[in-house]
Amino acid sequence: MNNNKRIADALAAATDTVALEIGTDILDRVPSMFAEQFPDKRALVVADENTWRAAGEAVQSHLAAAGIRCDEPYIFTDPHLHAEWSFVEMLDARLAATDAIAVAVGSGTINDLCKLSSHHHDRPYMCVATAASVDGYSSFGASITYRDMKQTFTCPAPRAILADVGVMAKAPAEMTAAGYADLAAKIPAGAEWIIADFLGVEPIHDAAWHIVQDSLKESLADPEGVAALRPRAIAPFVEGLMLSGFAMQAARSSRPASCTDHLFSHLWNMRNHTHNGVTPSHGFQVSVGTLMMCAMFDRMYETDFTTLDVDACVAAWPTLEQEQRRALDLFRDFPVPELRDGRPSTRCAAMAEELFRGLPYAELGIAEVTAKYDDRDEVRRQLQSVKDNWPDLKRKLQEQCYTFDEMYRCLHTVGAPTAPEHVGISRRTMRADVPFVRHIRRRFNLLDLGLRAGTLDGWVDAIFGKGGVWEIR
């Protein structure tokens, strides 16, 4: 399938985005795209100081030259700019004073700020991507920090996206590496979805699956070129990032793009983890989670499920009450976001207050394990199905998922982290985090299957034990 057909099919399945252009030296296409999607509207270019220099100034100039009415650009100058509520509120105030359509010129932070703020004002927006760093350009939802807690807030993806590969190739190398790692995570995430589909827990959404997976390995095929920031290598993986977001739009879920690999990142954000004084990028955190899951699949393949003692596994399966108690014990000492008393000052603050109210992590953990708990009869059915069909299931998983060594080579080549300590997490902590990640989302994953089969602890021991890929010394 050619690129144009692939993008057209993905746009047809998407719910929010209707136009995407990827190319080199195409910033002059911004005015025609804007005029087509937002006829007779004013434009408000939103950028930070770096993205203004990289593309924002050129975008503003092209819009004005084409006769499109433009507000004065809104440029964030704070050197510590990130996707945080205070910056959403600043942009909210600016959008409240105009009827202009925001043109987000930037990467994850600028896009998420414009995405949520535009949603607050019930208007669409356009994105001009400046770095191949995230798959969130085209996804619904904005990942925003509120009172030191990162949460994803539901809001539409941009109506139109333009990605100039020439601009993106000049972005800092670590941003490109983070984007590559985020895309690579779709490899083990796809394998986990195969398991959930096989067990009848969460059927694969065919359209979303094909949008992401059909060209995924092709998009990841040239890590050396990505590391060298060659546009011809970056272009297909930029397309992969955009397609991933369209798949999430189609499925109205992040399932097509993530699974346990992302849960490690979520967990570390819940702990407000920092490394060398800063929060590691989402893509760098996910890089470590992705390698963990590839290692977990490697260990899974060494398990002979055809000899599994299903009766013994079912007899050892905990009751719902026992699972709830485990979640309570795990999360009892977790930090809980502080909520101020009194009336929230803004609409967005009110939304966040409502989201967090009365939901400490222990209760969240209980809610998640309750939602995905299966009784012993269902566990028996699942395990018997794996036992009876293991050779075929194993073959499908091996065809989908890279080995640890294969994934390591790709991520190491692009400069992404390849061990927990590279993002400031000790190997002992990583090992101890496995029970937590199983409890923080109701999505069925490989850890759930391993727990049912009584093999999870053995897999983890093999990864972190003597001779393991992340041996604890």
What are the tens digits of pLDDT across the range 49-61? 999 999 999 999 9
pTM score of the predicted model: 0.91
Helix (H) or strand (E) segment spanning residue 452: helix 446-453
No. of helices (H) and no. of strands (E), the chain: 24, 8
Tell me, what's the pLDDT at 182? 96
* pLDDT tens-digit series, residues 63-111: 999 999 999 999 999 998 988 899 999 999 999 999 999 999 999 899 9
Instruction: List domains and CATH numbers for the chain.
Output: 3-171+206-251 (3.40.50.1970), 177-203+255-473 (1.20.1090)
* pLDDT tens-digit series, residues 309-321: 999 999 999 999 9
Asked if 444 and 195 count as a contact pair (C-beta separation under 8 A), the reply is yes
Residue recorded with tokens 């819940």: 270
* pLDDT tens-digit series, residues 339-375: 433 333 444 444 444 444 445 566 667 778 888 899 9
d(CA 24, CA 447): 42
74-76 and 43-48 as β-strands: parallel, antiparallel, unpaired?
parallel
Q: Residue 235 region, left (φ>0) first, then alpha (ψ -120 to 50), else beta?
A: alpha
Tell me, what's the pLDDT at 330? 81
